Structure 1
Amino acid sequence: MSALNGDTRGWLEQTGFTVRDEGLWREALTHGSTGEARDYQRLEFLGDRVLGLTIAHYLFENGRSDEGRMAQRLNALVSKQACADRAREIGISPHVIMGKQAREDGAHDSDNVLGDVMESLLGASFLENGFDATQALIRQLWDGALKGKTGQSKHPKSALQEWAAGNDRRPPDYEVVDIQGPDHARKFTVRVSVHKVGEVEATASGKRDAETEAAKLFMEKFG
């Protein structure tokens, strides 16, 4: 695989990554639309696990929350949205290598793509520099989210579930009613309904995110 351009290598090192094998880092930044033999998907798989373990370790070490509350925060802190937020903070978008059409379609600013690339960079870091160095970098990049309120409030789906039970209603029913857009910019529309109460719909870049937004909107309307 060809080398990185100088600007991208400089950006990676300024962000905190240690670059040795440029081919590995190019792979971590390469979108499937290029047609190249290697793209970021395998590294994203690895980085997702490194991120999850790092955040879980942090939550275990810092605080005395029970398993349920730790799981709630973990899910929020490793979500695609959280990864995309970190990606925007460090300026990933200009460095993603993708096909001309995909970029024109807005894939370079898609939550799905940015979140995936953030995870793939963590996977590359793990392979090049090991777990300890990558864990330290994750804690630095996620510092604001870890010390803030991300994931501390009750998840909208849990809140809706409890509301339905507390009002002697059937559990909420979630249904995907529409999927649109290319793979890199897929939009899911989910309808949530509670029998004899009502229903609302919400659209987001992932099925889980759409369910979460629908639950939030339902509670705002009927809760």
Structure 2
Amino acid sequence: MTEFSERIGHEFTDGDLLRRALTHSSMATANREDNQRLEFLGDRVLGLVMSEALLAADRDAAEGLLAPRFNALVRKEACAEVARQIELGAVLKLGRSEMLSGGRRKEALLGDAMEAVIAAVYLDGGFEVAKAMILRLWGDRIKNVDSDARDPKTALQEWAQARKFSPPRYVEVGRTGPDHAPEFTIAAELDNGSRQVATARSKRLAEQAAAKVLLARIEAGEI
């Protein structure tokens, strides 16, 4: 735990908070709380910190630009990316079945745990301490977030709706790899016959990747 505390830059006064933040529901018992309540709180702390940071970074940006940037910084994928950066998966307390199914690498599980760690730091050291940790760990992601950082699936759906198309369809066309670390191949399809396939370690990531390539083709005038 000491090495992990060093990686996040916070030494806990109440070590039980950190232990709870790192305990997945698969390890919870009557005497051992899991991290779900902390996850709920951490999501709100992260949201406030990112709202402040984005307002300070661009004092002229309208809400329409700030909202997608905010979503890009606080969504599960961003939290999981930071979690991998600090090797959070290595210290998670998981039940046997979750561990065997590759829980230490799962996007949603890592994202949830990152939010729980944020809450633990907030409860242990206060808002300013938690804020400093978040800004340090998110680093250049804040200033480099795309001006139009909408989720690709949302952007593609808006494009389709503007042309009176049905919402884009996402179809699983393949799955490879072992059960504990599968990769999914998803096809994104539009009413005009346009189609793009992408592969990723979760269905959600594969859908986003396929939508992103379709959007790129639209912007290039190919569709």
TM-score by length of 2: 0.78
Matched length: 212
Using a 3 Å threshold, how does the CA distance of structure 1 residues 35 and 164 change in structure 2: closer, same or farther?
closer
Shift of 1:198: 3.8
Q: In 1, distance between residues paired with 2:44 and 2:181? A: 23
Residues 65-76 of structure 1 mapped to structure 2, 5 A cutoff: 65-76=61-72
Q: Which amino acid aligns with 2:115?
A: E
For residues 146 and 171 of structure 2, what CA distance do their matches in structure 1 show? 24
Could you tell me whether the CA contact under 8 Å between 1:174 and 1:211 is conserved in 2? no
When residues 104 and 79 of structure 1 are mapped into structure 2, their CA distance, relative to the original with a 3 A threshold, is same
Q: Which amino acid aligns with 1:146?
A: I
Q: CA deviation at 1:11?
A: 2.4
Distance 1:54 1:185, change over 3 A: farther
TM, length-normalised to structure 1: 0.78
Please tell me whether residue 40 in structure 1 is matched to residue 35 in structure 2. yes
Partner of 2:16: 23
For the 8 Å contact 1:176–1:188, the answer to whether it is kept is no
> What is the CA–CA distance in structure 1 between the aligned matches of 2:137 and 2:62, rounded to whole Å?
25
**% of aligned pairs identical?**
38
Q: Deviations over 1:135-181 (max 9, x none)?
A: 11111111121122x34345323542454366x44153345769x9x
Could you tell me which residue of structure 1 aligns to residue 87 of structure 2?
91
Query: Residue 4 of structure 2 corresponds to which residue in structure 1?
Result: 11
| Structure 2 contact 160–168 (Cα < 8 Å) conserved | no
Counterpart check, 1:140 vs 2:133: no
Check 1:154–1:39 CA distance in 2 against 1; reply closer, same or farther (3 A cut).
closer
Instruction: Kindly indicate whether the alpha-carbon contact (under 8 Å) linking 2:189 and 2:195 is maintained by their aligned counterparts in 1.
Output: yes
Distance change >3 Å, CA 13–CA 219, structure 1 → 2: closer
Distance 1:21 1:197 in 2: 57
Gap change, CA 1:112 and 1:161, over 3 Å in 2: closer
- For residue 50 of structure 1, what is the aligned residue in structure 2? 45
Superposition pairs of residues 104-123 of structure 1, within 5 angstroms: 104-123=100-119
The CA RMSD over aligned residues, in Å, is: 3.2
Question: Which position in structure 1 is the counterpart of 2:212?
Answer: 216
CA distance in 1, matches of 2:201, 2:51: 25
Q: Any runs of at least 4 consecutive aligned residues in structure 1 with deviations exceeding 4 A, and if so which?
A: 174-178, 184-192, 199-211
CA distance in 1, matches of 2:98, 2:72: 28
Once the two structures are superposed, the pairs formed by residues 156-175 of structure 1 within 5 Å of their partners are: 156-161=152-157, 163-164=159-160, 168-174=163-169
> Against the structure 1 CA distance between its residues 10 and 200, is the aligned structure 2 distance closer, same or farther, given a 3 Å change threshold?
closer
> Could you tell me how far 1:111 is from its partner in structure 2?
1.4
The code of the aligned residue for 1:19 comes to: F
Distance in 1 between residues matched to 2:160 and 2:94, nearest whole Å: 45
